[in-house]
Amino acid sequence: MTIRWHCLPFENLPNLILYDLLRLRSEVFVVEQNCVFQDIDRQDMDAHHLLGYNEAGELAAYARLFDAGKSYEQASIGRVIVAQPFRQYGLGRELMRQALAFSDALFGPQANKIGAQQHLEAFYNGFGYEQCGPMYVEDGIPHIPMLRPA
């Protein structure tokens, strides 16, 4: 499967692309995970939005990228998501590789901190992240802070 990657700041997102990413986030984070929370959190405006589209023009993967000082003291990646029909292709790993590469290109190589769902700790360990604080519950889901050194 070929994925075309695009990374855009909020102000450059066309309406249909913004709709795609908000729909995907709602499908997974609200409906699939059965979690009522305020996904549109005013942080989108400070982020670069990484979008992975397949050959048919479907949004298959997404993440938002922040420079240091926007979400955490360090650069950060959040809202990491692969659409359900594309999960069997290892696209989550490619999404993280792309997210880290785009983050380094946009903000320069530096430490990167995330708030990860606890059950994904081993996944993020594979990218050099280590737990850096105690577990906390966010919107009813256990999370852990994780840091990837520069």
Q: Is the pLDDT of residue 91 over 90?
A: yes
- CATH class, range 4-108: alpha beta
The more confident residue out of 80 and 38 is 80
How far is residue 86's CA from residue 61's CA, in Å, rounded to a whole number? 8
- For position 38, what pLDDT does the model report? 80
The domain locations on the chain are 4-108
- For position 33, what pLDDT does the model report? 86
- For position 75, what pLDDT does the model report? 98
Q: Is the pLDDT of residue 14 over 90?
A: yes
Q: Is residue 123 classed exposed, middle or buried when 0-12, 13-18 and 19+ CB atoms within 10 A define those classes?
A: middle
pLDDT in tens, 39-77: 888 999 999 999 999 999 999 999 999 999 999 999 999
Q: Tell me the percentage of the chain whose pLDDT exceeds 90.
A: 88
- For position 139, what pLDDT does the model report? 86
Q: How close are the terminal C-alpha atoms of the chain, in Å? A: 31
Q: Is the pLDDT of residue 20 over 90?
A: yes
Distance set, CA 31 to CA 16, 22, 112 (Å): 21, 12, 28
